[in-house]
Structure formats: C-alpha cells, structure tokens
Amino acid sequence: MTDISSLRDQVVVLTKEVGKFIFQEASNFDVSKLEHKGLNNLVSYVDKEAELRLVAGLEKLIPEAGFITEEETKTEQAEEFNWIIDPLDGTTNFIHGLPVYSVSIALMQRDELMIGVVYDITRDECYHAVKGGGAFCNDRKISVSDAPTLGDSLIATGFPYYSFDAMQKYLQVMGAFMQGCHGVRRLGSAALDLAYVAAGKFEGYFEFNINSYDVAGGALLVQEAGGQVTDFRGGKDYVFGRQICVSNNPTVQQEMLKLIEPFWKE
C-alpha cells in the first residue's frame, strides 16, 4: 500500500469528483426515480451511481481492500483493510433541495480508523484526516472548539425516522440537552455533524440507531482535531455499535454522557 498521506490525497480527489456529480444532479433531480428501502428511508439513482463511482476508484487504490457500503453495491469485507462508504449522507435533504448533504469515506485497518474524508458538497469544503496527522478542511488545519462546558456548547443530534420504539426516551434525552446547553440542532447529515464538531462549529454530537458508514469518516476527524469519541457508555464501540457521542473536550464529554445515562439503560 502507498504512503497513507498520499492515499488520503487520492481519496480527496475522488471524493470531490463524485461530489461534483452529485451537485450537478441536484439541479435536475428526477423525483420519480426515488426508491424506498423502508419507512422514511429513501434512496435515489444518485446515491447508487455515486457509490459505484466511489467503489470503482477506491478499488484501484487498494485492490485487496473490502467494502462496507450503504447501498450495498459492494459488500465483500476483507480481513485487514476495509473502506466504509456513505455516497450521499443526507439523501432526504438532497431530495428536497436542502443544501446539507455530504460524501463520507473512511479506511479502517482491522479495528483502527486510518483515513477519514467528509465532503460538504454544496459548500465545497472537504474535511480530511489521517491517523496521527491532524484534521483539515481543504488546506486549513482545524481543531475543536475551546468552549469549556456543556453550558457553553451548541450540540447536534439526529432524529429517529424509523424504528420508533426508542423515540420516547430519545425525546427525554433531547429535553435534558435543551435545558443544559446553548441549543440542539438537527442538520440531517451525521457526517457533517461530526465534521462540524471537528471544525469547532458544534461542541458535541450524539445519535443512536446510526450506521458505520454514517460516522466512520467523521469520527476520525473529531479525534484528529482534538475531540472525544465514545459510545453512550463511554466505550469504544462507536463505529459498529449504532450509537455515538462526541465532544470537544473530556469535560463536555462526561457532561453529555451523564445526561444520556439516566434515560438510556441497556
């Protein structure tokens, strides 16, 4: 495999190329071609074509690598290297013309995140990181906010759009956050929520029933920008455990986990 930083640069180029395709399709999107994977779980031909293009490009970079993809155009996983891809994170926003959607790519070596790339398509801002190399937005190094406490923080989250069995306790969690911070925001793209924590725009983000391809790229961004990333129990099962809590510093992280814990007994 080539040098990890060089590999990241090639992933950035590929991500921007695919992002350009998505942006062009947004202006003349054909709603009649929408598909439903489940309740409120939408997919378009743009998602699928974007994923095909990403897979084709990434296969050339590490031929032996496996894939974890949202649209399952490629599903074979490998023992050592796996690409984790969300070709269009924020599909519902995209369909409705709301300019908040992204491409998210991560490279995992066994159980370690090595590369994270999140492309904020409509703003032409590409967030990227390699393990141990810091986090960047385009060519500018980024870091998490210096807000000291949860009371000084703006927090992002995601709302359940199916699997509503946990909705009531999630509303209780949100209520606790609404009373304990500057505000709670729901953008509709988990990858961008994480990128924005890394860039200091949010101080924290939490969500449950979330998938690996939604969070893998952004999780590394937050870590490399100096932030904290755990599951709801403060553990490390945040890529595949379907729940994630991130923040700008250990104090805010513990305050967030303390708010979540009373309502999230498992």
Could you report the per-residue pLDDT of 239-261, keeping only the tens digit for each?
999 999 999 999 999 999 999 99
Query: Are 50 and 119 part of one and the same domain?
Result: yes
Instruction: Looking at the structure, tell me whether residues 96 and 185 fall in a common domain.
Output: no
Q: What is the pTM of this model?
A: 0.94
- How many degrees, rounded to 5, is the angle at CA 33 between CA 32 and CA 38? 105
Same domain, 120 and 223: no
Q: What is the CATH number of the domain that holds 235?
A: 3.40.190.80
| 137 and 160 co-located in one domain | no
Query: What residue spans of 27-113 are helical by DSSP H?
Result: 45-61, 91-96
- Residues 50 and 114 reside in one and the same domain: yes
d(CA 122, CA 94): 10
Q: 3-class SS at 216?
A: helix
Q: Do 185 and 154 form a contact (C-beta atoms < 8 A)?
A: yes
Q: Are residues 15 and 136 in the same domain?
A: yes
Among 142, 168, 187, residue at a domain's last position: 142
Q: Give the integer Cα–Cα distance in Å for 247 and 68.
A: 26
Q: How far apart are CA 244 and CA 231, in angstroms?
A: 4
Q: Which of 142, 158, 181 is the endpoint of a domain? A: 142
Annotated binding site for Mg(2+): 70, 86, 88-89, 214
- pLDDT average, residue stretch 100-110: 98
13 with 123, same domain: the answer is yes
The verdict on 251 and 203 lying in the same domain is yes
| pLDDT per position as a tens digit, 166-222 | 778 888 999 999 999 999 999 999 999 999 999 999 999 999 999 999 999 999 999
Is the domain of 117 the same as that of 229? no
Q: Which domain holds residue 161?
A: 150-263
Counting Cα atoms < 13 Å in the Cβ hemisphere of 148 gives 0
Q: How far apart are CA 224 and CA 136, in angstroms?
A: 9
- Work out the percent of the chain whose per-residue pLDDT is above 70: 92
List, as residue ranges, the binding site: 70, 86, 88-89, 214
- Total domain count, the chain: 2
Euclidean distance between the first and final Cα of the chain, in Å? 41
CB 49 within 8 A of CB 21: yes
pLDDT at 262 over 80: yes
Q: Which residue has the higher pLDDT, 46 or 185?
A: 185
Instruction: Based on the fold, state whether residues 41 and 112 are members of the same structural domain.
Output: yes
Residues 199 and 167 in one domain: yes
CATH code for the domain in which residue 137 is found: 3.30.540.10
Which of 122, 142, 162 terminates a domain? The answer is 142
Query: What is the band of 36 on the pLDDT scale with cuts at 50, 70, 90?
Result: low
119 and 193 part of one domain: no
Provide the pLDDT for residue 256. 98
